[in-house]
Amino acid sequence: MADTFAGRKVLITGGLGFIGSNLAHRLVALGAHVTILDSLHKDHGGNYANLAGIEDRITITLADARDSAAMNTAIQGIDYLFNCVGQVSHIDSMTDPLTDLEINTRAQLVIAESVRHHNPEVRVLHLATRQQYGRPQRLPVDETHPLAPVDVNGIHKIAGETYFLLYHAIYGLRVTSIRLSNTYGPRQLIAHNRQGFIAWFVRNNLLGNSIQLFGDGRQLRDMCYVGDAIEAMIAAACADHAIGQVYNVGGMRPYSLKEIVEMMIAITGRGAYEIVPFPSTLKAIDIGDFYTDHTKITRELGWEPLIDLREGMTQTLAFYEQHKAAYLPELFATAGQS
């Protein structure tokens, strides 16, 4: 892989965010020339602190992917596009669906058009989500499971992915889509509670707070460490036979939310949890148990998750403990940091 990326030009859209910045760290280590295009949209996870240690080896374009002119310029001469632009909050998609449409659909169409018209040879890795499947009709969920979204976010993420798959089919664009399951790790936004439960659990454990589990805490999720997810994306981008394909990427095995919280408490020796009823706004879009079948990517690309939850969560909690001023600045920033 070092051979593949050494000296190559890589564009990461949404590269200041959780997945995009972890990818940037890995690609810089592999010798790539990395450019990031990011809008630093308020509340969406982009954070300069995510590039700590590689700032000097990255080119940053502060622009919105919906800006055709900016995208059309950024895409030219690029060898690999990792498309990590996304609004990930399911809750926000219900309260502000038009913004979700802008980021998860319109921006994707602008990106697909910029590739089509300005760099049709670029290798594209598109980031999709298990949210597109909705409430599982069977478990585990493989790539043939119907797409039946339970929230506006799911509707928009489906449209966003389908542009790329359609543009592959019609215009021959060299696209692979990865549907991530629950992904956790360093560099995720933990400043508010609308970007999924893991970040919220991490924040509360970091602060020594009690964590509220909705329902009975037995909901199952598979938990994929971000380092594993990054390796899946890179493996897919390197494989010609992955072009036109969709792959699920998930963790080693499902865990209940209760198990996850208990593990966090055991690792840090801090915090607690309590079981509370589901808030109605969340119950309406809850998907019950979910875990993916990722045997397709194992079979076709040889990828499988290598970091188990205890190891990944230990690294994650240590990272935030060390960098809490950067990730919870309103609570921990000291004079001189703004």
The least distance separating its own copies from the CB of residue 169, rounded to whole angstroms, comes to: 8
Tell me, what amino acid is at 252? M
In the bound state with its own copies, the residue whose beta carbon lies nearer, of 124 and 226, is 124
**285 forms part of the interface with its own copies (CB under 8 A):** yes
Tell me, what amino acid is at 299? R
Instruction: Show the tokens assigned to 250.
Output: 């998930």
Beta bridge partners of 81: 11, 124
The three-class DSSP label of residue 145 is coil
Residue 93 CA to residue 261 CA, distance in Å, equals 26
The least distance separating its own copies from the CB of residue 155, rounded to whole angstroms, comes to: 5
Which of the stretches 57-65, 92-100, 177-185, 259-267 binds its own copies when contact is defined by CB under 8 A?
Answer: 92-100
DSSP-derived letter for residue 184 is E
In the bound state with its own copies, the residue whose beta carbon lies nearer, of 82 and 163, is 163
DSSP-derived letter for residue 290 is B
Q: Nearest-CA neighbor of 294 among 143, 127, 132, 84?
A: 143
**24 forms part of the interface with its own copies (CB under 8 A):** no
**222 forms part of the interface with its own copies (CB under 8 A):** no
Q: Which of 159, 220, 239, 263 binds its own copies (CB under 8 A)?
A: 159
In the bound state with its own copies, the residue whose beta carbon lies nearer, of 66 and 324, is 66
The site that binds its own copies (CB under 8 A) totals a number of residues, namely 26
Between the CA of residue 83 and those of 16, 172, 177, what are the distances in Å? 12, 17, 9
**158 forms part of the interface with its own copies (CB under 8 A):** yes
The least distance separating its own copies from the CB of residue 159, rounded to whole angstroms, comes to: 5
The CB density around residue 337, as the number of other CB atoms within 10 Å, is: 10
DSSP-derived letter for residue 7 is T
H/E segment holding residue 255 = strand 254-256
In the bound state with its own copies, the residue whose beta carbon lies nearer, of 8 and 106, is 106
**69 forms part of the interface with its own copies (CB under 8 A):** no
In the bound state with its own copies, the residue whose beta carbon lies nearer, of 18 and 164, is 164
Cis-peptide into 305, omega within 30 deg = no
In the chain, DSSP assigns E strands to: 9-13, 33-38, 58-62, 80-83, 123-129, 174-180, 182-184, 210-214, 220-225, 246-249, 254-256, 272-276
Beta bridge partners of 183: 224
In the bound state with its own copies, the residue whose beta carbon lies nearer, of 151 and 222, is 151
Q: Which of 51, 70, 124, 155 binds its own copies (CB under 8 A)?
A: 155
In the bound state with its own copies, the residue whose beta carbon lies nearer, of 111 and 261, is 111
**106 forms part of the interface with its own copies (CB under 8 A):** yes
The three-class DSSP label of residue 234 is helix
Residue 49 CA to residue 146 CA, distance in Å, equals 38
Residue 43 CA to residue 320 CA, distance in Å, equals 18
Q: Which of 52, 272, 284, 331 binds its own copies (CB under 8 A)?
A: 284
Please list every residue from 164 through 183 that binds its own copies, using CB under 8 A: 166, 169-170
In the bound state with its own copies, the residue whose beta carbon lies nearer, of 159 and 265, is 159
**151 forms part of the interface with its own copies (CB under 8 A):** yes
User: β-strands 58-62, 33-38: how paired?
Assistant: parallel
Which of the stretches 27-35, 81-89, 149-157, 294-302 binds its own copies when contact is defined by CB under 8 A?
Answer: 149-157
Beta bridge partners of 33: 9
**335 forms part of the interface with its own copies (CB under 8 A):** no
* Residues contributing to the site for its own copies (CB under 8 A): 94, 97-98, 101, 105-106, 109-110, 113, 146-147, 149-152, 155-156, 158-159, 162-163, 166, 169-170, 284-285
